[in-house]
Amino acid sequence: MKWVVERDNMVEVLQDLVTVIEKSSVIPITSHVKLTIKGNVISMVTTDTKLQIKASINLASDQNIDEAIHTTVSAQKLLDTCRVAQDKEIVFNLEENKLVISFKQGSFSLLTQQAVDFPEIEDPEISSTLSLPQKVWLDLIKSSIFAVSESDHREALCGLLLEVEGSTVRFVGTNGHRLAIAQTQSDQALEGDFKKAILPKKSVQEMQRLFSDSDEPLSLSFQGDTHVFFKLTNNNITFTSNLIEGDYPTYQAVIPTNNPNTLKVNKEALNQAITNAVIIQKTPPRTVEFMIQDDSITVSSNTYEGENSRMLVNASFDGKENIEMSFNEEYIHAALKSFEQEMVDIKIGSSNGSILIDEEGETINRQSVIMPLNN
């Protein structure tokens, strides 16, 4: 059983596939890639049992495999072997329990395992999909993932909430002290009821790596309450992720609805002032204090040893009284970076209440809520 594949195509796909594999998996076969060869196509799948990437490429020339070939082989070894080859094409031959890989400079013989033992997540029967450009998906993720919890004491907060309601697509991230929301509209709408899913952070990070900053379409579909599927049509890749079980917090309840005062400031100037002010603090979490006046913000920082710093930023504030607030420096930094426009509007109620930053962009609407440290 022999087939031929173009070397560059094989390497490119395998480079995407191997990143899913856990280096210390307790299930040995999950370090493998499943190969299925039929007709003029070779399909390849890798998984860690929670997320999966499936890709396919055409065989070289006019080959046509009538009877499907199924096997698995070490994904990393297969990639390394293909990288060694300098020929345009690589010849594969399945001989009993070994995959022989040949090219002009030499050959390799790798052990295989039966494909029937591979824990593949089957493709769903898709009745409805929703599509957005890849760059929009990336922007939605970038504008919300920074708020996801780093602690695992509440598993739901370690993931990114995806909500789809008709043609509205929304991502939400929170750790209980800050909240980020990014949403957009699709030209399509998913059929059926309101959909929501909590995506594991690893899955979201893989999505960031796989998706490109392009207008190429990327479609989304759900399989019940267990999996979501993303399909990249331009290079025939299907990304499948399991979902985190449990209830996500009612995040709408923490969005301030009575913050009458607006602080308008240049986000880069404020971020730079924060960066400069906290250099006297050696280790995180670093605290930064704001004194907000009608035409400026004084950004200050202090240490236990009695050191202090102050930076002044021009701004406009329509509040009747000056307000003093303290924040985790990283929370403010990350939130400001997520917005597109040069000037940001920060809605403030009182020195003890959460602040709200929101923006209506051309494609994406963003909101960020941050609790002060004195709350």
In the chain, the percentage of residues whose pLDDT exceeds 70 is: 98
pLDDT band at 235 (very low <50, low <70, confident <90, very high): low
Radius of gyration of the chain (CA): 25
Q: What is the phi/psi pair of residue 165, to 5°?
A: -130, 100
Sign (positive/negative) of CA torsion 135, 136, 139, 141?
A: negative
Query: Structure tokens of 241?
Result: 């992720």
- Exposed / middle / buried, residue 70 (Cβ in 10 Å: 0-12, 13-18, 19+): middle
Q: In this model, does residue 71 exceed pLDDT 60?
A: yes
What are the distances in angstroms from CA 131 to CA 68, 169, 226, 329, 347? 32, 10, 20, 36, 33
Domains of the chain: 2-117 (3.10.150.10), 130-253 (3.10.150.10), 255-370 (3.10.150.10)
> Hunting for tokens 């980020």 — which residue is that?
180
Which residues on adjacent β-strands are paired with residue 299?
290, 311
Q: In this model, does residue 177 exceed pLDDT 90?
A: yes
CA distance linking residue 290 with residue 149, whole number of Å: 25
CA distance linking residue 61 with residue 57, whole number of Å: 12
H or E, element range at 14: helix 7-17
Q: In this model, does residue 375 exceed pLDDT 60?
A: no
Q: In this model, does residue 62 exceed pLDDT 90?
A: no
CA distance linking residue 179 with residue 174, whole number of Å: 4
Average pLDDT over residues 315-343: 95
**Cβ atoms 222, 228 nearer than 8 A:** yes
**Which residue type sits at 365?**
N
Closest by Cα among 96, 87, 84, 105 to 4: 87
Please report the pLDDT score of residue 240 as a whole number. 93
